[in-house]
């Protein structure tokens, strides 16, 4: 059942034709996939106590069990981070499913981390429910508190007890970053930035609670 669902999601939202709706070439090789049915050994987290691998309705997920973890970043940036081990990319297409497990209001979010160099140098996308300079933006952490690269005004349509589909693309040649949430026909936020090259990629939250599943990464 889970494989059938994943196949449907890929056909409907990943767009495996040579060119997607966002003009992102998707002939990139599949370099990572994770459905969490066999554990979480391929992930490195900032605070293991804040994450739980559990079964929900016969399906295994990896998620956050508390809002604020014991990890305190050196500069103002997300507290809950899970990075894929031994994978660094400069160009990629990443898809996954996420369910928010606690409604915390305007800044309810999940985060996607990429081009991660070290704990104080990386990009991340904050899918905050209501956008403002600190929510619902594509961010950069460059040895200083996080800074929005976008001026996004599109809210993120979180729904309780609902799995959402997310896709993020990053193009190496011009640094173009595009983020999609449920609607895969057009990005709801995008920007171009070339500050960071190849780096690690992962999932998490600034200080909210989510379950993650069915991660696929294509890249180089």
User: Sorting pLDDT into bands at 50, 70 and 90, what band is 24?
Assistant: very low
The C-alpha atoms of residue 94 and residue 169 are separated, in whole angstroms, by: 6
pLDDT at position 22 is: 36
61 — pLDDT class (breaks 50, 70, 90)? very high
**Residue 7 predicted with pLDDT over 60:** no
Q: pLDDT tens, 149-208?
A: 999 999 999 999 999 999 999 999 999 999 999 999 999 999 999 999 999 999 999 999
Percentage of the chain surpassing pLDDT 70? 89
- Tell me the C-alpha distance between 151 and 102, whole Å: 26
Confidence of residue 1 (pLDDT cuts 50, 70, 90): very low
Report phi then psi at 211, rounded to 5.
Answer: -110, 140
| 8 φψ region: left (φ > 0), alpha (ψ -120 to 50), beta (else) | alpha
CA distance 95 to 105: 25
Largest Cα–Cα separation, the chain = 45
Domains and CATH numbers, the chain: 2-219 (2.60.120.560)
């Amino acid at each position: 059942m889970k494989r059938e669902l994943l196949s449907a999601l890929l056909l409907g939202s990943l767009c495996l034709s040579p060119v997607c709706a966002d003009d992102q070439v998707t002939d990139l090789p599949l370099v990572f996939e994770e459905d969490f049915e066999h554990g979480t050994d391929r992930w490195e987290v900032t605070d293991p106590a804040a994450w739980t691998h559990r079964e929900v309705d016969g399906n295994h997920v990896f998620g956050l069990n508390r809002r604020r973890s014991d990890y305190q970043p050196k500069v103002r940036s997300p507290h809950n981070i899970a990075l894929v081990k031994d994978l660094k990319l400069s160009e990629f297409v990443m898809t996954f499913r996420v369910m928010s497990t606690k409604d915390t209001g305007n800044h309810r979010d999940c985060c996607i981390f990429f081009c991660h160099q070290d704990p104080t140098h990386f990009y991340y996308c904050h899918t905050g429910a209501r956008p403002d300079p600190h929510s619902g933006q594509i961010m950069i952490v460059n040895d200083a508190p996080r800074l929005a690269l976008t001026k996004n005004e599109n809210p993120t349509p979180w729904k309780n007890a609902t799995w959402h589909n997310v896709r993020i693309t990053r193009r190496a040649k011009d640094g173009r970053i595009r983020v999609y949430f449920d609607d895969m026909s057009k990005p709801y936020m995008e920007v171009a930035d070339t500050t960071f090259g190849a780096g690690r990629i992962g999932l998490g939250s600034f200080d909210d609670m989510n379950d993650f599943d069915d991660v696929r990464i294509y890249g180089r």
